[in-house]
Structures are given as C-alpha cells and as structure tokens.
C-alpha cells in the first residue's frame, strides 16, 4: 500500500499551490502550517533546493473525531500535502494516505474516519 495520493500537473508551481489551497478549502480543510522547504534549506544550511512546500491541512470535524478515539493521534495530524517543482515546468502534488498512516496506530475505531479523510483528499487531488 502506498503512503500517499499524488498527481502531476502541467502548470507552474505557484499556480498549483494556490489551486491546492482552494481545493482543500472546498473539502473542509484549513491550512494550519506552510513550510517553505526551499527557503528553509537555503537559510539554515545554504543548500539550493527546488520549490517545495509542505502544507499542514486539517479538517476540524475529522480531527475532533479522531482525537476522541485516540488521545495521541495528534502525533499524526495534520494531514500533510506537498507541492513540489518537477522537471519541465510541471508540479507534483501529493497528500498523505490517512488510511495507510493510521494502520500503525492499531485502533480500529480510526479506520472509518481515516477512510472518509482519504476520500476527501482524493477529491482534492482529482480536482486539480
């Protein structure tokens, strides 16, 4: 089982980043964190790196349900979505597969929640 859902887009990085945020919002996700990996690596260790963002996306309703089932599930939240520059002016977007990541928790009560979140993330990726 893959640990992610992904799609390559034939659009520039900045456009893909904005579209991802818009589609996440349509599915009830807010972006709690945004890490600019390119900028961070440049500042911290003077390394040149491609455009790469990590978005920490959270759907509050599902996060609340998961927290009620597993007190430490916050270690696996929020759902990370990456947007990264690909060769030829393309951009890859990938999201964590919550079903795959929740298997490590070994709490069957999370399966239904993770499945619903996966369906929403699949809609986000498909809409791009």
Number of helices and strands in the chain (H, E): 5, 5
pTM of the predicted structure, to 2 decimals = 0.94
Rounded alpha-carbon distances, angstroms, from residue 110 to 3, 12, 22, 27, 96: 16, 36, 27, 19, 15
Res 97 pLDDT > 70: yes
**CATH classification at residue 98:** 3.30.310.70
pLDDT in tens, 30-43: 999 999 999 999 99
Res 1 pLDDT > 70: no
CA distance 128 to 121: 11
Q: In what order do the strands lie in the sheet containing 4-9?
A: 4-9, 90-96, 79-86, 52-58, 30-36
Q: How far apart are the first and last CA of the chain?
A: 23
pLDDT in tens, 2-57: 999 999 999 999 999 999 999 999 999 999 999 999 999 999 999 999 999 999 99
What total number of domains does the chain contain? 1
Q: 86, 93, 11, 6: which is closest to 51 by C-alpha?
A: 86
Provide the pLDDT for residue 104. 87
Range of the domain at 19: 4-127
**Using an 8 Å Cβ cutoff, are 116 and 38 in contact?**
no
CB count in 10 Å sphere of residue 114: 23
């Amino acid at each position: 089982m893959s640990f992610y859902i992904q799609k390559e887009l034939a659009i520039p990085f900045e456009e893909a980043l904005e579209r991802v945020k818009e589609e996440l919002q349509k599915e009830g996700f807010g972006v709690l964190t945004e890490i600019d990996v390119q900028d961070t690596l440049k500042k911290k260790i003077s390394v040149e790196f491609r455009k790469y963002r990590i978005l920490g996306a959270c759907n509050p309703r599902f996060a609340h349900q998961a927290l009620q089932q597993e007190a430490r599930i916050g270690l696996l939240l929020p759902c990370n979505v990456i947007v990264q520059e690909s060769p030829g002016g393309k951009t890859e977007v990938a999201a964590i597969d919550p079903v795959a990541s929740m298997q490590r928790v070994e709490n069957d009560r999370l399966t239904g929640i993770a499945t619903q979140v996966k369906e929403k993330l699949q809609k986000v990726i498909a809409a791009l």
